[in-house]
C-alpha cells in the first residue's frame, strides 16, 4: 500500500479503527525504512491518547533485539552526508535536515560534519543520530549540532546506542505530530517562555540568576506579566515571591497551591524550577480562555530563592510562605558585602511585612510541584512523566582526618599515618553502603589534601559527606554505619577524626491521597504510572511542613543532566505534564 493521500485527515480514532496493514502503511514514515515498528505496535490498539501511541511505538523499539535496534539506527542517514547531498533521503529526513540549515552548510562546515561522521561511525559502528528539530521542534543550529556530535563521541558504545534510539523516538514523535496535525496546548509556550527568561543572567557567558540581582528582578516582573495576561490576580511579595491567584467563583473556596523557584545555580539550566511556574501559568491561560473556573482558588508561586547562591541560604521564598523565615539572614552579606536587607530594600521590598507572607494552613487544600526530573530514571524507561513518591531527606557533614605528614621516600608503608589513604577507604565504604538500599545515595563531593606535596605523605585530609534517602530511617541507618566505619578506619590507621554536621533536612513523603490523584490523571493521559523518589531537594519539602504535598516529574534529556547548560526537556514532554496537571485540576477532590 502506498503513502496516504496528502489531503486525508488522519486521526487517532482512525488509526485505532483501521486494520493492522493500513495502520502500518500510514505510519511508515515515522521510522526510517522500519515498518516492523508500527506493525508490532498495531497489536496494542486501541490507544487512548497520542501520548500512549508514542510510548507504545518506543516500547517496541526498546524491546527489540540488539540486531533490530542496530538495523534501525543504520537505516538513518548521516547528517549532511552523501545521501543528503545526492537528494536520496526520505521526504521526512530531507525536511528535517533542511530546517536545521544542514542544506546551507559552508564547505568548511560540510568538511567538519563529514569528519565527525567518519570518526563516529568508526568508533561505534553506526551513524550519529540526532533529532535536528531539537527539544522545541524549531530546529537546532549548526553549532548546536556540531557540539552534540563532539560531546556524544566521547560516550561508551552501549550508552550511545541507547541515546541514538531515544533520538529516533524524538524524531518519530515529531513526525507523528505532523501526520496527525497535533497542536501543543502548553509545551510550545513553556519552551518559548523558558528561552525568554533564560536569556537574562548575572553572567554574560551562562545562565546565573541569583537572589535580587537585576536578572532576578527582571525575571520576576516578566513572570508577573505572564500571570496577569493569563487572568490572575498578581503581586510580588516582600521576599520577591511572584504570586498569581486564579480565583474561584465558589463562596468560601479554599486554595490549592503550586509553584517552584525561578532563581538558578551558577551556570545552570533553563528548566530547573522554572517549569513548575511556567507550565501552571500556561494551564491557567487555557482555563481563562475557556472561561472555566475551578471550585477552589488556584495559586501559583514563583519562589524567589531556593538554590542559595548569593547568600548561601536555601528556601528563602518557600520558608517565608510557611511562616518560618529566618530573620537573622537579613543581616547576612554576599561576596560584595551587601546585606540581604539592603538588597531587598533596593528592590523596593519592605522587610517589615515579611511576617504577613505566611499562609494559614487551614485555608490550604495542599501543594503540588511540577519539576524537571534532574536525573535519568524516566529517560531510561522511555516515559515522559513520573509521579514522585517522596523527596529525599539529607544529612551533610564535613569530615577532617589528621594523620602525620612525613617523607614519602623514607617512611615505610607499615609505619605511615596517611590521612588521604584513610579518606580513600572511607569514600569506597560510602559508595558500598549507599548501594545497599534502593533510594539511598551517598556522595563525597569535596576532597582536599591541604598543603599537600608530591613527596610528602598527607598529614591531613578534608572531605564532605552527603547522604540522602527517601525516608529518614534508611538515611540515618546509613549515616550511623558510615560514621562507625570512619572511626574504625581511623583507629586502625592511627588517624584523628573530626566530624561536623552542617545540615540535616527531613524526608518529605508525598501525601498518598494526592499521589493517587496524580497517578489517575497520568493514567488518563495514556502514560504508564511510574512512581519514583526525588533525590534532589525542592520547595515542596518546605511546604510539607504546613500542608500535604505532591510532585510530578518531567523527563530530563541529555542523560538526565541538570544544574548545567545541557539540561533539557522537550515541548512534547512538557505538554504531557501539562495534560496531566490540567486533568488533575479538573478532577481534584479535597482530602476527606
Cell of 434: 549507599
Widest distance between CA atoms in the chain = 86
CATH no., domain 394-505: 3.30.70.360
CATH architecture of 187-390+508-586: 3-Layer(aba) Sandwich (3.40)
Cis peptide, bond prior to residue 163, ω within 30 of zero: no
Q: What SS3 class is residue 109?
A: helix
Q: How high is the pLDDT of residue 1?
A: 41
CA dist 109 and 106 (Å) reads: 5
Q: How high is the pLDDT of residue 100?
A: 65
CA dist 435 and 442 (Å) reads: 8
pLDDT in tens, the chain (592 residues): 444 454 567 999 999 999 999 999 999 999 999 999 999 999 999 999 999 999 999 999 999 999 999 999 999 988 866 656 556 567 776 667 666 667 677 888 888 888 999 999 999 999 999 999 999 998 998 889 999 999 999 999 999 999 999 999 999 999 999 999 999 999 999 999 999 999 999 999 999 999 999 999 999 999 999 999 999 999 999 999 999 999 999 999 999 999 999 999 999 999 999 999 999 999 999 999 999 999 999 999 999 999 999 998 889 999 999 999 999 999 999 999 999 999 999 999 999 999 999 999 999 999 999 999 999 999 999 999 999 999 999 999 999 999 999 999 999 999 999 999 999 999 999 999 999 998 899 999 999 999 999 999 999 999 999 999 999 999 999 999 999 999 999 999 999 999 999 988 899 999 999 999 999 999 999 999 999 999 888 999 999 999 999 999 999 999 999 999 999 999 999 999 999 999 999 999 999 8
3-state secondary structure 323-348: CCCCHHHHHCECCCCCEHHHHHHHCC
**For the chain, domain boundaries:** 12-180, 187-390+508-586, 394-505
Q: How high is the pLDDT of residue 77?
A: 84
User: Looking up cell 504535598, which residue turns up?
Assistant: 549
- Residues 55-77 as b or e (16 or more Cβ within 10 Å = b): bbbbbbbbebeeeebbebbbebb
Q: How high is the pLDDT of residue 592?
A: 85
Half-sphere exposure of 181 toward its Cβ, with a 13 Å CA cutoff? 7
CATH architecture of 12-180: Orthogonal Bundle (1.10)
Cell of 61: 523499539
pTM of the entire predicted model: 0.91
**At CB < 8 A and 24+ separation, what contacts does 219-226 make?**
219/262, 220/262, 220/302, 220/304, 222/196, 222/197, 223/197, 223/262, 223/277, 223/281, 223/302, 226/193, 226/278, 226/281
Cell of 167: 533520538
CA dist 200 and 530 (Å) reads: 35
**Can you give the C-alpha Rg of the chain in angstroms?**
27
Q: Which of 526, 515, 508, 511 is nearest to 553 (CA)?
A: 515
Amino acid at each position: 500500500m502506498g503513502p496516504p493521500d496528502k489531503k486525508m485527515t488522519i486521526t487517532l480514532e482512525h488509526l485505532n479503527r483501521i486494520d493492522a496493514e493500513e495502520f502500518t502503511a500510514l505510519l511508515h514514515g515515522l521510522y526510517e525504512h522500519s515498518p516492523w515498528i508500527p506493525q508490532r505496535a498495531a497489536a496494542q490498539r486501541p490507544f487512548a491518547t497520542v501520548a500512549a501511541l508514542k510510548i507504545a511505538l518506543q516500547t517496541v523499539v526498546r524491546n527489540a533485539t540488539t540486531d533490530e535496534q542496530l538495523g534501525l539506527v543504520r537505516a538513518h542517514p548521516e547528517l549532511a552526508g552523501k545521501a543528503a547531498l545526492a537528494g536520496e533521503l526520505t521526504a521526512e529526513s530531507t525536511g528535517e535536515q533542511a530546517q536545521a540549515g544542514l542544506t546551507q552548510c559552508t564547505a568548511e562546515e560540510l568538511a567538519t560534519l563529514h569528519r565527525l561522521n567518519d570518526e563516529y561511525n568508526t568508533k561505534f559502528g553506526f551513524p550519529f543520530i540526532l533529532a535536528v528539530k531539537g527539544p522545541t521542534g524549531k530546529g537546532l543550529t549548526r553549532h548546536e549540532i556540531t557540539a552534540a556530535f563532539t560531546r556524544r563521541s566521547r560516550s561508551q558504545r552501549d550508552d550511545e546506542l541507547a541515546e541514538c534510539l531515544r533520538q529516533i523516538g524524538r524524531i518519530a514523535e515529531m513526525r507523528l505530530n505532523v501526520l496527525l496535525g497535533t497542536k501543543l496546548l502548553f509545551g510550545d509556550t513553556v519552551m518559548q517562555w523558558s528561552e525568554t527568561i533564560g536569556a537574562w543572567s548575572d553572567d554574560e557567558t551562562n545562565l546565573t540568576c541569583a537572589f535580587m540581582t537585576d536578572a532576578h528582578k527582571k525575571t520576576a516582573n516578566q513572570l508577573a506579566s505572564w500571570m496577569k495576561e493569563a487572568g490572575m490576580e498578581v503581586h510580588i511579595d516582600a521576599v520577591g515571591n511572584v504570586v498569581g491567584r486564579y480565583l474561584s467563583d465558589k463562596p468560601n473556596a479554599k486554595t490549592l497551591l503550586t509553584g517552584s523557584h525561578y532563581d538558578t545555580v551558577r551556570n545552570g539550566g533553563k528548566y530547573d524550577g522554572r517549569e513548575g511556574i511556567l507550565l501552571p501559568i500556561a494551564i491557567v491561560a487555557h482555563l481563562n480562555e475557556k472561561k472555566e473556573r475551578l471550585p477552589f482558588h488556584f495559586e501559583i508561586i514563583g519562589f524567589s530563592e531556593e538554590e542559595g547562591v548569593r547568600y548561601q541560604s536555601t528556601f528563602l521564598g518557600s520558608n517565608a510562605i510557611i511562616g518560618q523565615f529566618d530573620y537573622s539572614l537579613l543581616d547576612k552579606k554576599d561576596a560584595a558585602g551587601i546585606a540581604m536587607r539592603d538588597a531587598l530594600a533596593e528592590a523596593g521590598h519592605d522587610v517589615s511585612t515579611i511576617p504577613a507572607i505566611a499562609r494559614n494552613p487551614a485555608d490550604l487544600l495542599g501543594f503540588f510541584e511540577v519539576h524537571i526530573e534532574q536525573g535519568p530514571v524516566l529517560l531510561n524507561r522511555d516515559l515522559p512523566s513520573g509521579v514522585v513518591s517522596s523527596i529525599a531527606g539529607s544529612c551533610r557533614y564535613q569530615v577532617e582526618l589528621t594523620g602525620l605528614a612525613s617523607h614519602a621516600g623514607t617512611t615505610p608503608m607499615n609505619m605511615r599515618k596517611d590521612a588521604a589513604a584513610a579518606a580513600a577507604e572511607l569514600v569506597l565504604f560510602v559508595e558500598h553502603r549507599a548501594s545497599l538500599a534502593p533510594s539511598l545515595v551517598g556522595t563525597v563531593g569535596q576532597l582536599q589534601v591541604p598543603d599537600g606535596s608530591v613527596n610528602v605523605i598527607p598529614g591531613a585530609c578534608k572531605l564532605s559527606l552527603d547522604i540522602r534517602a527517601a525516608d529518614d530511617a534508611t538515611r540515618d541507618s546509613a549515616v550511623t554505619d558510615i560514621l562507625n566505619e570512619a572511626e574504625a578506619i581511623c583507629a586502625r590507621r592511627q588517624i584523628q577524626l573530626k566530624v561536623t554536621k552542617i545540615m540535616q533536612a527531613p524526608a518529605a513523603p508525598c501525601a498518598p491521597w494526592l499521589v493517587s490523584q496524580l497517578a489517575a490523571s497520568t493514567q488518563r493521559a495514556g502514560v504508564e504510572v511510574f512512581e519514583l523518589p526525588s533525590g534532589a531537594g525542592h520547595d515542596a519539602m518546605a511546604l510539607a511542613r504546613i500542608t500535604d504535598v505532591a510532585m510530578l516529574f518531567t523527563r530530563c534529556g541529555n542523560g538526565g543532566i541538570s544544574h548545567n547548560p545541557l539540561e533539557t526537556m522537550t515541548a512534547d514532554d512538557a505538554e504531557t505534564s501539562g495534560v496531566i496537571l490540567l486533568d488533575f485540576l479538573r478532577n481534584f477532590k479535597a482530602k476527606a
